[in-house]
């Protein structure tokens, strides 16, 4: 469940809102691994860049490379999945996260499962009370639980880090989608399925093969900038979101690329979206190349000083 929920975890972190040392070799991405890509050709007057984010990570891992800082300085506009700098969009976000038709978890689950979920949430320290969460789309409720399972005290998102750097350079921040659009994607996934996955999440919580292990693997793949591994963790696994990959990933990727064709012709962009959107035959990198653009990797190694 964490992989499906993590696609939209950005929303919760933005509204309400592990670490390993640099001398650990696992923190050093391989020679071909990167989250930063340059977009050129196909009539572009100036290059644009594509960056893979993660919507939740430990603060000690949330650093920008020198090349990424330079890209932020050089670009004209920063595009995120959603405009997190739009206060009016954020103010109306909570209502869009609720299930339609006054649906609640009690209606979607058996009495036994409902009691299990309620008890679990009441024992956990979440940002919202269960009385509110049980009206939310279950994937969002799962996302809040996932945040509580972070292997560190402080959590943030790469979007927040990028926004701070962009504002420091006086760059405009815009979104490829609206909050209403993102909420609509979750409405396309049956609430009963989402609720059943929430129960599975709770059943596996704390077990050896539970979501804690999956989250650790996800963070490790992101630190190593291993897009192939991220794709496998987020899409290929049966327990992941493969059944709804078209809704959560592929259809959105195709829509973004169509939009970017116009936007990149006018200005130099930094497009920062979830890293799971980048790899694969239907990923943004491949779709941009099929559209005639030259997309090449840019070194994105971060240099961290050792603690004394």
User: Given pLDDT bands bounded at 50, 70 and 90, which one contains residue 129?
Assistant: confident
Question: 95 pLDDT exceeds 60?
Answer: yes
pLDDT of 116 > 60? The answer is: yes
Burial class (CB in 10 A: 0-12, 13-18, 19+), 48: buried
Residue 294 has pLDDT above 50, yes or no: yes
* pLDDT at residue 202 in the model: 86
Which residues are registered as beta bridge partners of 297? Answer: 37
Alpha helices in the chain (DSSP H): 2-6, 9-15, 66-74, 87-91, 93-96, 105-108, 111-123, 130-133, 138-148, 158-168, 179-187, 191-204, 211-223, 227-231, 245, 251-266, 284-290
Sheet bearing 269-274, strands edge to edge: 172-177, 77-82, 269-274, 48-53, 36-40, 294-298
The alpha carbon of 233 is separated from its chain's Cα centroid by a whole number of angstroms, namely: 13
CA distances (Å), 121 to each of 47, 126, 130, 146, 192, in order? 47, 7, 6, 12, 18
2-39: pLDDT as tens digits: 344 444 443 333 333 332 333 333 444 444 599 999 99
Neighbouring-strand partners of residue 175: 80
**Alpha-carbon distance 99 to 107, whole Å?**
11
CA distances to 86, 148, 186, 220, 273 from 151, in Å: 30, 9, 27, 12, 23
- Token couple for 162: 């990028």
Q: Tokens representing 197?
A: 């996955």
More confident residue, 137 or 238: 137
Which of these, 112, 132, 111, 135, lies nearest to 122 by C-alpha position?
132
């Amino acid at each position: 469940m964490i992989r499906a929920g993590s696609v939209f975890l950005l929303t919760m972190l933005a509204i309400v809102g592990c670490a390993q040392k640099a001398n650990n070799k696992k923190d050093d991405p391989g020679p071909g691994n990167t989250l930063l890509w340059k977009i050129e050709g196909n009539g572009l007057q100036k290059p644009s860049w594509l960056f893979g984010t993660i919507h939740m990570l430990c603060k000690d891992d949330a650093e920008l490379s020198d090349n990424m800082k330079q890209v932020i300085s050089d670009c004209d506009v920063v595009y995120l999945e959603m405009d997190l700098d739009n206060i009016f969009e954020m103010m109306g976000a909570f209502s869009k996260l609720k299930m339609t038709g006054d649906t609640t978890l009690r209606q979607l689950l058996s009495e036994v499962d409902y009691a299990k979920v309620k008890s679990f949430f009441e024992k956990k320290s979440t940002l919202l009370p269960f009385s509110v969460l049980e009206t939310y789309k279950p994937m969002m409720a799962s996302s809040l639980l996932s945040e509580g399972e972070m292997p560190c005290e402080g959590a943030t998102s790469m979007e927040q880090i990028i926004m701070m750097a962009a504002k420091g350079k006086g760059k405009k921040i815009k979104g490829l989608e609206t909050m209403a659009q993102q909420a609509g994607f979750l409405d396309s996934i049956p609430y009963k399925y989402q609720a059943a996955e929430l129960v599975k999440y709770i059943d596996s919580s704390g077990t050896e093969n539970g979501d804690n292990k999956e989250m650790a693997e996800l963070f490790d793949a992101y630190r190593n900038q291993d897009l192939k591994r991220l794709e496998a963790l987020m899409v290929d696994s049966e327990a992941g979101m493969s059944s709804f990959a078209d809704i959560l990933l592929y259809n959105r990727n195709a829509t973004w690329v169509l939009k970017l064709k116009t936007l990149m012709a006018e200005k130099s962009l930094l497009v920062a979206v979830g890293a799971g959107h980048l790899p694969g035959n239907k990923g943004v990198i491949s779709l941009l190349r099929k559209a005639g653009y030259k997309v090449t990797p840019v070194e994105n190694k971060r240099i961290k000083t050792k603690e004394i």
